[in-house]
Structure 1
Amino acid sequence: MALTNAGIEAEPVEQSSHPEIEQHSTKVLMLGALGVVYGDIGTSPIYAFREALVASSGGEIAERGDILGVLSLIIWSLTIIVTIKYIMFVLRADNRGEGGVLSLMALARGSFPTRSAIILAIGIVGASLFFGDAVITPAISVLSAVEGMNVVTPTFQPYVVPLTLVILAILFSVQRFGTGGVALIFGPITAVWFLAIGLSGLNHIIADPEILWAVSPHYIVAFLINSPDVAFVTIGAIFLAVTGAEALYADLGHFGRKPIVLAWLAIVFPCLLLNYAGQGAFVLAKNGHVGHPFFEMNEGWTLIPMVVLATAATVIASQAVISGAFSLTRQAVQLNMLPRLEILHTSERQSGQIYMPRVNVLLALAVMLLVVGFGESSKLASAYGISVTGNMLVTTVLLFVVMTRIWKWRLWVAVAMTALFGFIDIGFFASNIVKVFEGGWASLAVAFTIVLA
């Protein structure tokens, strides 16, 4: 384990060219990426579909059009935002193997003869918003899973917050073992998680295959036209399904592009689609009664194991933004935006795998304060979207600069792609910014503090 106080890059490790070794390494990194990179977006089904249905129906009974419209929005959001924007394009914009909004900012800024102050300011804002996300994600993820015990027994409610704090304390205490050490434990558990939620959803899709019609985007159009006011509010909840996409890029230095892409296309994306569609089929079968579909569709003996697995998975979900926060802080130190901090290199093979003790302690304190202050995941949901949507919007702006000045794309192609991503990002951001007084101020307060620092 190497120690540096200035964030100096470790010497590059000589990679073996033997195809069998390289293939084995890719599989190991894929498994690690499941546990570290995809924990956040992988646990969104616990609360995203339910929150969106409640927002669209205004209560506990959703109509067929609402169910299909919400599901279609989730499917196409995952496709356009995660698969196309991040997997196909953003992950290609690495800065010497590192990802994250500050790396993207450094690339964009370096393409100008004189360093652009505007690009620097945009990058700082994006990084600050990511830290706001890094504080809220562990709080809402663990809280939402522990609340699943209320489905088993309502008498568990008084123990939700205390148990959440204990779990968070354990999570932050194991960070010192490094991303690689954490991934050895988290990877297999997350693999089981994705398999479980995929099979859970598939079971209900087979029972009611009509739900597959939600793949058609015309349900989105109908949903937006029929009730534009309700749809605007619902979009803010829909965004919960893609939170974690920003962590894919921030964690690029920990695993590399290939394992992250393969894990998404082969495992994560298919299992998420199956689970969301399964929840939709379950709610349709219950005549639109929303309830808590993720847990309720696991009936009988499967309920308690799913609650336990969900609790473990949501603890792991927090790892994506914690690792991303370490990487982003190191980049800020290297760019002289922050003073020198203790940085521990935890891997001899991946120089991007690091641990920062001071950042870890500050994150832990901030997360626990949020849990105590808000007390419920539904209240934290209002605070969740603003920082993430803002970060994604900043990423789109900086990506346009990289497309035109570094990748040398034709202007009309870059404008077309940026317009598509920007339109969606702005829609999500606008629908979330109205939640400032409902709890959204929390993430903005964290971001504002970082900017001032």
Structure 2
Amino acid sequence: MTPSPHGPASGHKTSALGALTLGAIGVVYGDIGTSPLYAFREALAQSAGGGIDGAEILGVLSLALWALIVVVSLKYVLFLSRMDNNGEGGVLSLMALAQRATKGRWAIVTLLGATGAALFYGDAIITPALSVLSAVEGLKTIPGMETMQEPTILGLTMGILIGLFAIQSRGTASVAVLFGPVCALWFAVLAGLGVMHIIATPAVLAAINPYHAVSFMMGHGVTGLFVLGAVFLTVTGAEALIADMGHFGRQPIQLGWVALVWPALTLNYLGQGALALQALAKAQAAGHVLDNADWFFLMAPDSLRAVLVLLATLATIIASQAVITGAFSLTHQAIALGLLPRMTIRQTSAEQMGQIYMPGVNWLLLLGVTVLVFAFRSSSAMAAAYGIAVTGTMVVTTCLAFIIAWKFWHWEPVWTALLIAPFLALDVFFFGANILRVAEGGWVPLLVAGMVGLVIVTWLMGRRAVLARTSQLGINIDDMANSLTIRMPVVIDGTAVFLTQDLDIVPSALLHNLKHNKALHSCNILLKVEVQSTPWVAEEDRLQVTPLNDHFCKARLCYGYMDKVDVPSDLARREGLLARPGGTSFFVGRSAIRFAARPTLPRWMTLLYTFLHRNAADPTAYFNIPPNRVVELGTQIEL
């Protein structure tokens, strides 16, 4: 019997959708939801050289509204949200999907993915610094606190940020349930403040007409480009719409945007424009020139401004938390896909696998945030640094989307290009507008992205060089297995698992074991752990075993880049593989890098790779192997 669409099954599905939508509002939209704190103010500041007039207010406002429509609603919500990799989104998931579509043969795909990941880290240090600082600066708009000094504001900002990063090790599952309700209240307040001022000045609704945006750009020349770069602040955080699809699903994210976030942002920006028009009328009546102001906080009545500052601070903390969690998740994916060396990863929740803590990433982010706060000292100075990282990531995302639509969806390349071209042109236009602000602070995310990109390139090339040198000097496993049957050493009970990157070459740990211990285990497994370009691999599909003879076999253990790696448990699922007398030992080769007479890499790159290799997290911890079952044997590799 089919349940009634209005019965219990339908009600349960509706409540689940509502809960996921509320969760998405708290996590996905935290970044873009705090943009009204500074976006309109900074965009208007770029055109305020000789005072602000009504056409400039409507023009800037129209640019902001249409940026939300085209970039977020059309590009991300309607188009890119359909481009998921088995439910997962984000730049590295798009890279993995494009790699699968091109069978890993296009180097440009890896380059694009690495570039997008590198740019994300630039965004990850700017978002907490800019959003929290802009909220704390709102204290100066409270009556009686106008004279608050800069050191006090910076001290409060750093106190909040240090506390936020300090609690990451304890996990955020206990407080995450508050994110959705607090952000829902935040968006309701944004909408309410906007409506209050729109009613007072309905003429601001004319900004919905794109004519004002076009007219402004055509009449302001190079200044218009600077304004456009600042207008882009209204859509920062749009990448989270696809990056968090795996946590909430496409429908809750789309519903949250259409039903609450988009209307609230639109109303608030219109309200800020209405307040600016009101202030302009008063200034003109007094014969004064209108100066720019902190329009967002001034929308609230004096008696409620302190409450608004408190709510804004909570919203910016939530937005910062989402970015920090995103940095942990992206780094985890990058390690799994081989773009970065292994790092320490701690699980902070027994119920949710995605709740992780990475101390190295956490403290590096805090260091970057601290440097930014004290280097720029105000949200207005820092705003110039924001757009480049985000626009660069959007260009990368659009290029990957073209490859996926063409090669994975099998769309006609010409029609695909015609569809993608307007989005790419807009992204490049925004990126070009932000490039003009490099000297003002835009160099910061470029520097961070360059450093991360250098690490990624060095790690990729170093690993490739090590694998090539090992294969060049190694012994074929089939030849060795056959030769050992002719002249068999002492055979002892037990199973030896040798972790290797090449199943055709004898692992150095096996050679050292034979050389020094003069013995062979009764069962020897050459194990290669691979990460697929899909986020998940079913447990029954992970392990493939190929016997060579009575004493040797090759095993390939496959994981998705979002799977938790547990080598002993997954090997034990194959009946009889590890259940032998004598127990199981895992042999790991610990390589030491040395300079070769004929180097395969530039010396500086070898030095950097050696540093990364030496400081990478213990592989046995990453593979979840108990330490008391691990045998490490050293070897040297010349690069």
TM-score normalised by the chain length of structure 2: 0.66
Q: 1:154 aligned to 2:153?
A: no
The equivalent residue for 2:493 is: none
1:230-275 deviations in Å (ceiling 9; x for gaps): 1111001000100011122222223222221111111110000000
- CA 1:355–1:89 in 2, change beyond 3 Å: closer, same or farther? farther
SS at match of 1:147: helix
SS at match of 2:205: helix
- Corresponding letter in the other structure for 1:104: L
- Corresponding letter in the other structure for 1:385: G
Aligned residues: CA RMSD: 1.8
Q: What is the deviation of 1:332?
A: 0.5
Q: 1:277 aligned to 2:267?
A: no
- Corresponding letter in the other structure for 1:218: Y
Structure holding more strand per residue: 2
Match for residue 215 of structure 1 among 208, 220, 234: 208
Match for residue 109 of structure 1 among 89, 99, 118: 99
Aligned partners of 1:148 and 1:193: how far apart in 2?
15
Q: What is the deviation of 1:168?
A: 0.7
Q: What is the deviation of 1:63?
A: 1.1
1:206-240 deviations in Å (ceiling 9; x for gaps): 11111111111111111111112211110010001
Query: Do the aligned partners of 2:226 and 2:437 also contact (CA within 8 Å) in 1?
Result: no
- Corresponding letter in the other structure for 2:98: A
Query: Do the aligned partners of 1:175 and 1:182 also contact (CA within 8 Å) in 2?
Result: no
Larger displacement relative to structure 2 (440-449 or 317-326): 317-326
1:411-448 deviations in Å (ceiling 9; x for gaps): 34422221111111111101111221211111111111
Aligned partners of 2:87 and 2:353: how far apart in 1?
9
Aligned partners of 2:402 and 2:171: how far apart in 1?
34
Larger displacement relative to structure 2 (89-98 or 394-403): 89-98
Query: Do the aligned partners of 2:28 and 2:322 also contact (CA within 8 Å) in 1?
Result: yes
Query: Do the aligned partners of 1:171 and 1:315 also contact (CA within 8 Å) in 2?
Result: yes
Q: 1:22 aligned to 2:13?
A: yes
Query: Do the aligned partners of 2:204 and 2:274 also contact (CA within 8 Å) in 1?
Result: yes
Match for residue 72 of structure 1 among 62, 87, 110: 62
Q: 1:145 aligned to 2:135?
A: yes
Match for residue 220 of structure 2 among 227, 231, 234: 227
- Corresponding letter in the other structure for 2:166: S
Aligned partners of 2:416 and 2:158: how far apart in 1?
45
Trace 1:15-414 onto structure 2 (pairs within 5 A): 18-58=9-49, 61-152=51-142, 153-157=145-149, 158-178=151-171, 180-287=173-280, 288-346=290-348, 351-414=353-416
Aligned partners of 2:387 and 2:94: how far apart in 1?
21
Q: What is the deviation of 1:345?
A: 4.5
Aligned partners of 2:26 and 2:167: how far apart in 1?
14
Aligned partners of 1:128 and 1:332: how far apart in 2?
10
- Corresponding letter in the other structure for 1:156: M
- The total of aligned residue pairs comes to 436
Query: Do the aligned partners of 2:59 and 2:215 also contact (CA within 8 Å) in 1?
Result: yes
Query: Do the aligned partners of 2:25 and 2:256 also contact (CA within 8 Å) in 1?
Result: yes
Aligned partners of 1:296 and 1:361: how far apart in 2?
35
- Corresponding letter in the other structure for 1:41: I
Query: Do the aligned partners of 1:33 and 1:183 also contact (CA within 8 Å) in 2?
Result: no
Larger displacement relative to structure 2 (174-183 or 293-302): 174-183
Aligned partners of 2:195 and 2:410: how far apart in 1?
43
- CA 1:171–1:26 in 2, change beyond 3 Å: closer, same or farther? farther
The equivalent residue for 1:7 is: none
- CA 1:114–1:204 in 2, change beyond 3 Å: closer, same or farther? closer
- CA 1:183–1:418 in 2, change beyond 3 Å: closer, same or farther? same
Q: What is the deviation of 1:173?
A: 2.7
Q: What is the deviation of 1:408?
A: 2.4
The equivalent residue for 1:14 is: none
Query: Do the aligned partners of 1:56 and 1:230 also contact (CA within 8 Å) in 2?
Result: yes
Aligned partners of 2:62 and 2:236: how far apart in 1?
17
Query: Do the aligned partners of 1:251 and 1:323 also contact (CA within 8 Å) in 2?
Result: no
Aligned partners of 1:254 and 1:141: how far apart in 2?
24
1:116-146 deviations in Å (ceiling 9; x for gaps): 1111111101110011101111000000110
Q: What is the deviation of 1:74?
A: 0.6
- CA 1:221–1:228 in 2, change beyond 3 Å: closer, same or farther? same
Tell which structure's C-alpha radius of gyration is larger: 2
Aligned partners of 1:225 and 1:40: how far apart in 2?
30
> Percent of aligned positions with the same letter in both sequences?
51
- Corresponding letter in the other structure for 2:61: L
TM-score normalised by the chain length of structure 1: 0.92
Q: Larger relative CO (CA 8 A, sep 6+): 1 or 2? A: 1
Larger displacement relative to structure 2 (342-351 or 107-116): 342-351
- Corresponding letter in the other structure for 1:437: A
Q: What is the deviation of 1:285?
A: 1.0
SS at match of 1:148: helix
- CA 1:265–1:347 in 2, change beyond 3 Å: closer, same or farther? farther
- Corresponding letter in the other structure for 1:49: F
- Corresponding letter in the other structure for 2:79: F
